Amino acid sequence: MSAVQTLSALVLGHTDYGDTDRIVQLITAEQGRISALARGARSSKKRFTGTLELGSRIEATLRRGKGELWQFQAAELVHGHPHIRSFLESITLSAYLCEMVRELGRREQPEPKLFGLLDVALLVLDACTEPPQAAFRLGFEAKALSFAGLTPVLTQCAGCGQAADGPMIWSVSGGGMMHEACGVGPGVSSAWALAVEGFRRTPLSELVDTPAPTGGSPWLLSELMIWHQGRPLRSRELLITLEAG
Ligand SMILES: [Zn+2]
């Protein structure tokens, strides 16, 4: 494999490094999640102008460095999703989607589905004339969990495997819906779970006008992911407030 590669990438975040540099987290189809050092990203206005912002789609020319850190040779902006910045809720949602992919994406292993999902999600979000309804986020969460091998159980009991009948609950440790007798958690209706299973199978562009289904908290998939990762999602609290408002 060549030491220098040009990869399509989405920016998942960055941290300042030294006086003038920046370490950028990326998701790519070929190499999964990688970190890359952008030398002079904070001192030179010209070199990386506008390319390394959260959610930016870029063509990144990267040199394989020592250990896990790659080095930017060049970065070209493909799509900056400027319309997302029209709404605080859309900005927060895009940060949340990027954070989810940062948590779920495997380091330096191919992640074509997660990359493709986030790429499409940000384009759909950028095309929205107002923040999307909750089904868009639920659909994204269900797809992302599935692509990461954590498919939520939505069509039967995650405990005994039998059909959903009678009172059902949501079990984060069990991976989804369960009979009240099979697990512990907040109540959820099987109709809610079936609706979310529908979102999982529907293109994101068709979910932007669909509100959250009734019969369960709109954050149950998110809870599943937080339980699995063992740490909170930083952008979630603000998003909960904005979605509720
Ligand atoms: Zn059961």
Between the CA of residue 32 and those of 114, 132, 150, what are the distances in Å?
A: 9, 27, 17
Q: Which amino acid is at 77?
A: L
Q: What are the tens digits of pLDDT across the range 155-175?
A: 999 999 999 999 999 999 999
The pairing of strands 57-64 and 168-171 is unpaired
- Fold of the domain spanning 86-244: de novo design (two linked rop proteins) (1.20.1440)
Give residue 2's pLDDT: 65
Question: How remote is the CA of residue 177 from the centroid of ligand 1, in Å?
Answer: 9
Question: How remote is the CA of residue 193 from the centroid of ligand 1, in Å?
Answer: 14
Question: How remote is the CA of residue 219 from the centroid of ligand 1, in Å?
Answer: 22
Residues 6+ away with beta carbon under 8 Å from 240: 219
C-alpha of 185 from chain center: 24
Question: How remote is the CA of residue 139 from the centroid of ligand 1, in Å?
Answer: 25
Question: How remote is the CA of residue 160 from the centroid of ligand 1, in Å?
Answer: 4
Torsion 208-185-146-233 (CA) sign: positive
Question: How remote is the CA of residue 162 from the centroid of ligand 1, in Å?
Answer: 6
Question: How remote is the CA of residue 156 from the centroid of ligand 1, in Å?
Answer: 8
What span, in angstroms and rounded, lies between the C-alpha atoms of 219 and 100? 13
Q: What is the dihedral of CA 74, 96, 157, 173, to 10 degrees?
A: 90
Q: Is the pTM of this model over 0.85?
A: yes
Give residue 50's pLDDT: 79
Question: How remote is the CA of residue 22 from the centroid of ligand 1, in Å?
Answer: 49
**Dihedral pair phi/psi, residue 111, rounded to 5°:** -135, 55
Q: What are the tens digits of pLDDT across the range 127-151?
A: 999 999 999 999 999 999 999 999 9
Residue extents of the structural domains in the chain: 4-79, 86-244
Question: How remote is the CA of residue 138 from the centroid of ligand 1, in Å?
Answer: 24
Question: How remote is the CA of residue 210 from the centroid of ligand 1, in Å?
Answer: 29
Question: How remote is the CA of residue 179 from the centroid of ligand 1, in Å?
Answer: 4
**Dihedral pair phi/psi, residue 72, rounded to 5°:** -70, 130
Q: Tokens 């999600």 identify what position? A: 121
Per-position pLDDT tens, the chain of length 245: 568 999 999 999 999 998 999 999 999 999 999 999 999 888 866 778 779 999 999 999 999 877 889 999 999 999 999 999 999 999 999 999 999 999 999 998 999 999 999 999 999 999 999 999 999 999 999 999 999 999 999 999 999 999 999 999 999 999 999 999 999 999 999 999 999 999 999 999 999 999 999 999 999 999 999 999 999 999 999 999 999 98
Question: How remote is the CA of residue 114 from the centroid of ligand 1, in Å?
Answer: 31
Give residue 75's pLDDT: 94
Question: How remote is the CA of residue 164 from the centroid of ligand 1, in Å?
Answer: 8
Question: How remote is the CA of residue 165 from the centroid of ligand 1, in Å?
Answer: 9
Question: How remote is the CA of residue 144 from the centroid of ligand 1, in Å?
Answer: 25
Question: How remote is the CA of residue 161 from the centroid of ligand 1, in Å?
Answer: 6
Question: How remote is the CA of residue 35 from the centroid of ligand 1, in Å?
Answer: 42
Give residue 1's pLDDT: 56
Phi-psi region of 53 (alpha: psi -120 to 50; beta: other; left: phi over 0): beta
Give residue 45's pLDDT: 66
CATH of 4-79 among 3.30.1490.20, 2.30.40.10, 3.40.50.10790, 2.40.50.140: 2.40.50.140
Torsion 47-35-111-120 (CA) sign: negative
Nearest to 93 by CA among 206, 203, 241, 236: 236
Give residue 12's pLDDT: 98
